[in-house]
Structure 1
Amino acid sequence: MSSVDKNDDLHSEKAAIEQSEVLVNTDLMNDAFDGENREHEMSTWAAIKSHPWACLWAFTMCFTIFPPPDLKINSADTSNQVMESFDMFLNGNFVALPHFKEVYGVEVPGHGKTIETKWQSSLFQAGQCGAFVGVFLAGPITNKFGYRWTTIFALMLMNATIFVSFFANSLALLVVGQALEGVPWGFFIANSPAYASEIVPLSLRGACTATLQMSWSIGSIIVAGVTYGFNKRSDEWAWRVPLALQWIFPTPLLILLFFAPESPWWLIRRGRKAEALRSIERLGGKSHEEAQQSLAMIERTVEIEAQMGGSPTLLDLLKGTDLRRTIITCLIYASQNFAGNLIANQATYFFEQAGMGPERSFQLNLINSCLQLVANIIALPLASSFGRRTIYLWGTATNVTLLMVLGVCASISQNNATNYAQAVLGILISFVFAGSLGPISYTIIAETSSVRLRALSTGVGRAAYYVAEIPMIYLASQMLNPGGWNLAGKCGYVWGGTACVCFVSAYWFLPELKGRSYRESDILFNRRISARKFKSTVIDVRDNE
């Protein structure tokens, strides 16, 4: 299609939009202008004071991805270990646990009993497969029933599927249980960033969506603590107690979310205007006039998007400018596996391969988990103060440098000092990821898609993460495992190279969406503005396109 034809299509779409009944309503449009201008003028602190309930509900929804306690037990027999997965669904990482191997293992000459490789792989990948299904189911179900009821359903499903894993008396049944538990986790990770981004004011979108990574870190601290406490237990409760602890979380979250307001954006898309107004009033301490202005702003954006496409389908993600937005979402999600994060999330195993003893590796892992939480807390004000593109690029560049230094450190003559240097570099890489790339990725994902396709887009983006993660998990295992390539810290060269690719790709293709309303984002993508010019392009508050 020629540039002239494209311009004609854009003019035709704009003409049709301008004839919309909503968009020719002068009073509604004036309210929409006022509502959007007020959001742009609202500072972060003012937004927190006026919208405490919105912050609470956003954090509650994000807390659904809180990873339940995994079991990663360390012993001197590191050749039988499975690395810790970076997932937010339950994943059975039963690693070198003596009693677990005694019950389910097979005899290997010279090593005693061990879990067969095929079962290690199955236990490790079952949750990813379940979540892959869950993220694709989440979009259509959420579009029909809303974020609130879909998440409540997923929490009920989570409670039910835990029974399968807890009472499993064979490896096959345990694999089935892990796969079933993965399905609701797919719902959680697809819905959490979308819901959080839709219920808070513009200035809080970065901080509130970044709390997704904080939930991860809180979970990893509990994982490290539970693992440390059960490291030497020699009966079946060594793995059944951590599995049972999962039941602590779904029911309280389910009760809380029963009282949560639905996203006003979803309600407007369903034509439920009165409920949307009530939801807006519940989310913030606004006057009725301000609530009406916010409602008008939402109506305007939803109407513009509706004029450009009907009921959302997965195929819409591949059409027109939405294809560009889908590619950005998928690449940002997938890139979490390429910027050194797999070192951070197999920390215990990495520390051992770097020369630390099993007990010291455990201690360093607990320290690493706590530092990740500190980094997440630091990331919240950063997300409100700096651009998404800026944080992502600087975080990636920093990790590229650290990963290359790690490779150099592992390439020289090894001694106690170089072992500790590699361990410290592993912790620093984890800290940088948890303070920049990790949390800001969820913000970018939540903001990039159109409102109409958001539930579908976040699900497909997460599916891209799983597609990238599976081969990367295998590659990471091969690089660290003494029975594989045994690279130890030299894997920094590999991950440094892939992180460099992430940096270059983001520099050319990642747009800056900080401070942009969803209407402005739609216009910038529809005008096909270069990613590097998003920040400087001026959008008039009266533009409808």
Structure 2
Amino acid sequence: MSTSITDTKDESDHGEKRDVHHSEKMTAELLHEAFDGENLEHELGVWEAAKKHPWACLWAFIMCFTIVMESFDMFLNTNFVALKYFSREFGVWDAAKKEHVIPTRWQSALFQSGQCGAFVGVFLSGPITSRIGYRWTTILALALINCTIFISFFAPSLAVLTVGQTLEGISWGFFIANSPAYASEVVPLALRGACTATLQMSWSIGSIIVAAASYGYNNRDNQWSWRVPTALQWIFPTPLLILVFLAPESPWWLIRRGRKEEALRSIKRLGDTNEEQAHQKLAMMERTVQIEALQGGSPTLLDLLKGTDLRRTIIICLMYASQNFAGNLIANQATYFFEQAGINTNMAFKLNLINSCLQFVANALAWFISSYFGRRTIYLWGLGFNITLLFLLGIIASVHQSHATNYAQACLGVVISFVFAGTQGPISYTIIAETSSVRLRALSTAVGRAGYYVAEIPMIYLATKMLNTTGWDLAGKCGYVWGSTAVVCWVTAYFFLPELKGRSYREIDILFNRRTPARDFKKTVITVEDNE
């Protein structure tokens, strides 16, 4: 067993070398407490952990619920282009279809502007979170989005609406970077999968509200058909700001900053009210943080590209980016997809609402699936099933079209969204949260999400081009494209995605430091005494 954890690293020269602001050794007594704390984590079952840590689950869900605003806005914009009044007010006349449509370039601008802002936001979030913590960073973002919604609501043109979406997107970047990291740090090991999976549920809740509002207002022939749904965004930021203010800070972040007493209070607020068990968990966290601290100083973006952290960064970026290559953009543009598949406008809005509700059901099922099956298993089987459905969608769209084939395409779009929402979507967030090292988590999740936007922005343009009547007008034939890109994602995951279910953060660090092959993670034995 390596004993480097008990060595004191000299921090007196050249200023502070690492985030841990104390230089005390992990004594034999503290190490035994850390062992006990980690053993206790492994012994806790899913239901026992949930009963013992209801507050941890609540705070994790509240932080994840901030994602509802990115979901709300994204689905709102895709519904706008299907609104007759919006198209007549801001679109151009399509002689072939004998109706007004939003040009492809403006559809792309509306769909991509928020993502461009979020791309900036995720890079800002990492350093800010490392400095002031998850709570205050999220509070700052919630205050910002409260202000920027005004621009979208009062927008007199597509150009101003695009600017408003871009500025709102900066806050989205903070939310999506911090939520999975915070959720994974405040709940016990047994609940990490279920709680990080609630990120996808927040997406579904946002899409349900948008679908319901859009369906309720789509027959209005005035500006309120799109301004009222836009105004509904103000429902979320202020209540969430208050709740996040009341939430405890992540004890892992506090320990990284050397604030042990505050970390202990946070641990107790999260459910470990037993004094002995709270100190054991504190020792376990401190041990992991000190092991990582010996590998480097204060975290920087460059650290993500060094040593074994480069491998972790690549996995995180691939997990995020792959969400755009497996047909998920069909769900993001569901109403418009249904219309292009030959469904009338009113029925398309109804189907979108049904689709959103079914995604919510799939997200709820993901809680149980992620608790009992491995991350790698869920990802590969879910993605593999959707690959089959995507190619089937393309085949149906290629035959002679009728009323039956139109509804078959629409139904396949719903099933693809359902499978994604129950497997690949939620489990990706779990993998992302678990793969990053504790020291670099805020930066890792931020850069990973940046990888998502790098992939999504051109993919949104491609998706819009494939569906728009002024573009390629492929409708369900886009299944061939998304099926092919999904195959690439599946093959990549098969060879490079490790199994992290049931592993503590210390064990994950050791597995990566040993450069364990991805397919050997599950069977490799790590003892509680290992420190390397």
Identity %: 72
Aligned to 2:81: 95
**What is the CA-CA distance between 1:156 and the residue it aligns to?**
0.7
Give TM-score scaled by structure 2 length: 0.93
2:67 counterpart of 1:65: yes
Output the amino acid matched with 2:35: F
Aligned to 1:512: 499
User: 4, 7, 11: which one pairs with 1:19?
Assistant: 7
Contact 1:50-1:286 within 8 A present in 2 as well: no
User: 30, 33, 50: which one pairs with 1:48?
Assistant: 50
Output the amino acid matched with 1:512: E
In structure 2, how many angstroms separate the alpha carbons of the residues matched to 1:112 and 1:46?
A: 58
CA offsets 1:475-526 (integer angstroms, 9 cap, x no match): 2222222333232222212211111111111010000000000000000000
User: 448, 461, 465: which one pairs with 2:452?
Assistant: 465
In structure 2, how many angstroms separate the alpha carbons of the residues matched to 1:172 and 1:427?
A: 32
Aligned to 2:475: 488
2:313 counterpart of 1:326: yes
**What is the CA-CA distance between 1:151 and the residue it aligns to?**
0.4
2:181 counterpart of 1:179: no
In structure 2, how many angstroms separate the alpha carbons of the residues matched to 1:340 and 1:118?
A: 21
Query: What are the within-5 Å matches in structure 2 for residues 112-261 of structure 1?
Result: 115-261=102-248
User: 429, 434, 441: which one pairs with 2:416?
Assistant: 429
Output the amino acid matched with 1:442: Y
Query: What are the within-5 Å matches in structure 2 for residues 356-367 of structure 1?
Result: 356-367=343-354
Aligned CA distance change for structure 1 residues 68 and 334 (closer, same or farther; 3 Å): closer
In structure 1, how many angstroms separate the alpha carbons of the residues matched to 2:423 and 2:486?
A: 14
User: 326, 337, 344: which one pairs with 1:339?
Assistant: 326
Stretch moving more, 428-437 or 338-347: 338-347
CA offsets 1:515-538 (integer angstroms, 9 cap, x no match): 000000000000000000000000
**What is the CA-CA distance between 1:423 and the residue it aligns to?**
1.7
Aligned CA distance change for structure 1 residues 385 and 281 (closer, same or farther; 3 Å): same
Aligned to 2:11: none
Aligned to 1:80: none
In structure 2, how many angstroms separate the alpha carbons of the residues matched to 1:104 and 1:477?
A: 17
Contact 2:79-2:335 within 8 A present in 1 as well: no
Aligned CA distance change for structure 1 residues 270 and 68 (closer, same or farther; 3 Å): closer
**What is the CA-CA distance between 1:118 and the residue it aligns to?**
4.1
Aligned to 1:37: 39
Output the amino acid matched with 2:242: I
Stretch moving more, 354-363 or 39-48: 354-363
Contact 1:168-1:174 within 8 A present in 2 as well: yes
Output the amino acid matched with 1:334: A
**What is the CA-CA distance between 1:286 and the residue it aligns to?**
3.0
Q: Secondary structure at the match of 1:308?
A: coil
Q: Secondary structure at the match of 1:500?
A: helix
In structure 2, how many angstroms separate the alpha carbons of the residues matched to 1:204 and 1:91?
A: 34
User: 413, 419, 427: which one pairs with 2:406?
Assistant: 419
Q: Secondary structure at the match of 1:286?
A: coil
In structure 2, how many angstroms separate the alpha carbons of the residues matched to 1:126 and 1:435?
A: 28
Aligned residues: 517
Uncovered stretches (5+) of structure 1, i.e. residues with no partner: 1-10, 72-84
Uncovered stretches (5+) of structure 2, i.e. residues with no partner: 9-22
Contact 2:466-2:474 within 8 A present in 1 as well: yes
In structure 2, how many angstroms separate the alpha carbons of the residues matched to 1:502 and 1:198?
A: 28
**What is the CA-CA distance between 1:94 and the residue it aligns to?**
2.8
Contact 1:51-1:200 within 8 A present in 2 as well: yes
In structure 2, how many angstroms separate the alpha carbons of the residues matched to 1:107 and 1:493?
A: 30
2:286 counterpart of 1:299: yes
Contact 2:71-2:202 within 8 A present in 1 as well: no
Output the amino acid matched with 1:237: W
**What is the CA-CA distance between 1:25 and the residue it aligns to?**
0.5
**What is the CA-CA distance between 1:438 and the residue it aligns to?**
0.3
Aligned CA distance change for structure 1 residues 543 and 341 (closer, same or farther; 3 Å): same
Contact 2:71-2:203 within 8 A present in 1 as well: no
Aligned to 2:461: 474
User: 470, 494, 501: which one pairs with 2:488?
Assistant: 501
CA offsets 1:358-409 (integer angstroms, 9 cap, x no match): 2222221111111111101101011111100000000011011111222222
Q: Secondary structure at the match of 2:471?
A: coil
In structure 1, how many angstroms separate the alpha carbons of the residues matched to 2:411 and 2:84?
A: 29
Q: Secondary structure at the match of 2:294?
A: helix
In structure 1, how many angstroms separate the alpha carbons of the residues matched to 2:402 and 2:101?
A: 31
Aligned to 1:395: 382
